[in-house]
C-alpha cells in the first residue's frame, strides 16, 4: 500500500514541478494582457505658468492651468485590427484637454494609440493618429511593458511626432511601492499647430500662413511600477513658443505655455491603489504560483521518497508476507 501511495505522490511531484516553469514562461506571456475596454483618466495641473492670450498675442502669468488626460479602450476598433494583425490588440482613444483658470479651453489633442495587448509594442494601421494626422509610432507611449527592466526605452512624443530614448535613472520608493524612475528630454524643435484653437477665427492654417512657427521642448518624468509597467506618477516641464513671421510684429518670439505640470494628489492615490491590485494579479502568474508549484513538487517528492524508504525498511513484514497462507500441520 505504501508503494502505491509513493508512486501517486511521485506522479503529482513531477506534475507540479513541470507546471512551475510552464506557468511562468508559457502561461504568463499569453494570459497577462491589457483589457481592450479599459478606461482611465488623470488630472494634471501647472501652478503659476505662463500662458499666451491669443487675442492680444501676449504671454502672461496665470494662477493655474489644468490638463485632463483620458484613455478609453475602443473595443470595436480593436476587434477589427485583430482580424488583420492576428494577435491581441488594444486601441486607446486618448484626449489631452487643457483649460485655463476660468475653465475655458486652451487646446485639445486627440490621439489613437494602437498596441499589442501583451508586449505594448505598437501596431501600425491607417487609423493610428495624433490630432487627426496619420502617424507611425515607434517605441512605447503611456505604458511600459509588464516586468519593466532597468534600462532605457524608446518613448514616443505626440507633440513633436518623434521617438526619443527615455532613460532609466534609478529605483525609488513611491507611496509604499518600489518604482523605476525614467526621464526624457525633447530638445527644441518645430511642431505643428493644434487643429483646434481657443479663439474663434484663429486657425492652424491662418497662423501658419503668417510665417509664424510653433516650437516646443519638454522634460518628462515618470515613476513606473515595474511589475505591471504602469506609471503611478508623472511630471512634465514644458515650454512652447511662437517664433518669427508677421504675426509677432517686431518680436522674435512669444511664449505659448511655460510651466511645470504635475499630477493632482487625488488622482495619485487612485492610480496607486489601482496599480497595487493589478500588481498582485501579475505576481500570481510570475512568482506566487510558479514558486508555489515548485515548492509543492519538492515536498511531494520528499514525501514519496520517505514512503518508499519506509516500505523497504528491514525487519518489517512485506505486503506479500502478510498474505502468505499459514503452513499446514504435519501429522506423525
* Non-local CB neighbours of 86 within 8 Å, separated by 6+ positions: none
pTM score > 0.75 for this model? yes
pLDDT at position 332 is 43
| Nearest 10 degrees: Cα torsion 108, 112, 117, 121 | -100
pLDDT tens for 81-130 read 999 988 999 999 999 999 999 999 999 999 999 999 999 999 999 999 99
Neighbouring C-beta atoms of residue 234, cutoff 10 Å: 20
Task: Please give the Cα distance from 76 to 89 (Å, whole number).
Answer: 11
Task: Please give the Cα distance from 298 to 291 (Å, whole number).
Answer: 11
pLDDT tens for 129-163 read 999 999 999 999 999 999 999 999 999 999 999 99
Bridge-based pairing state of the strands 253-263 and 129-130: unpaired
Phi, psi of 82, deg, nearest 5: -60, -30
pLDDT at position 23 is 85
pLDDT tens for 299-319 read 988 888 887 787 776 655 555
Q: Which of 115-119, 165-169, 218-222, 287-291 shows the lowest per-residue confidence on average (mean pLDDT)?
A: 287-291
pLDDT at position 10 is 81
Amino acid at each position: 500500500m505504501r508503494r502505491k501511495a509513493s508512486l501517486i505522490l511521485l506522479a503529482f511531484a513531477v506534475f507540479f514541478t513541470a507546471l512551475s516553469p510552464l506557468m511562468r514562461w508559457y502561461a504568463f506571456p499569453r494570459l497577462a494582457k491589457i483589457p481592450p475596454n479599459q478606461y482611465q483618466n488623470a488630472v494634471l495641473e501647472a501652478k503659476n505658468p505662463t500662458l499666451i492670450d491669443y487675442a492680444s498675442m501676449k504671454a502672461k502669468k496665470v494662477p493655474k492651468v489644468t490638463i485632463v488626460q483620458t484613455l478609453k479602450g475602443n473595443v470595436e476598433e480593436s476587434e477589427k485590427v485583430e482580424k488583420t494583425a492576428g494577435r491581441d490588440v488594444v486601441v486607446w482613444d486618448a484626449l489631452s484637454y487643457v483649460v485655463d483658470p476660468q475653465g475655458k479651453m486652451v487646446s485639445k489633442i486627440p490621439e489613437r494609440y494602437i498596441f499589442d495587448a501583451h508586449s505594448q509594442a505598437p501596431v501600425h494601421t491607417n487609423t493610428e493618429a495624433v490630432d487627426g494626422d496619420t502617424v507611425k509610432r515607434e517605441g512605447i507611449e503611456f505604458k511600459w511593458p509588464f516586468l519593466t527592466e532597468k534600462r532605457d526605452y524608446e518613448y514616443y512624443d505626440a507633440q513633436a511626432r518623434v521617438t526619443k530614448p527615455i532613460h532609466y535613472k534609478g529605483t525609488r520608493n513611491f507611496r509604499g511601492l518600489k518604482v523605476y524612475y525614467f526621464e526624457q528630454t525633447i530638445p527644441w524643435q518645430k511642431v505643428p499647430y493644434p487643429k483646434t484653437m481657443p479663439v474663434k477665427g484663429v486657425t492652424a492654417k491662418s497662423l501658419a500662413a503668417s510665417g509664424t512657427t510653433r516650437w516646443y521642448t519638454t522634460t518628462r518624468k515618470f515613476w513606473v511600477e515595474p511589475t505591471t509597467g504602469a506609471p503611478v506618477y508623472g511630471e512634465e516641464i514644458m515650454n512652447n513658443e511662437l517664433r518669427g513671421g508677421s504675426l509677432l510684429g517686431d518680436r522674435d518670439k512669444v511664449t505659448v505655455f511655460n510651466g511645470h505640470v504635475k499630477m493632482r494628489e487625488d488622482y495619485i492615490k487612485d492610480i496607486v491603489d489601482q496599480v497595487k491590485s493589478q500588481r498582485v494579479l501579475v505576481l500570481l502568474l510570475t512568482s506566487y504560483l510558479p514558486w508555489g508549484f515548485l515548492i509543492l513538487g519538492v515536498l511531494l517528492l520528499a514525501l514519496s521518497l520517505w514512503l518508499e524508504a519506509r516500505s523497504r525498511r528491514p525487519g518489517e513484514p512485506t505486503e506479500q508476507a502478510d498474505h502468505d497462507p499459514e503452513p499446514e500441520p504435519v501429522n506423525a
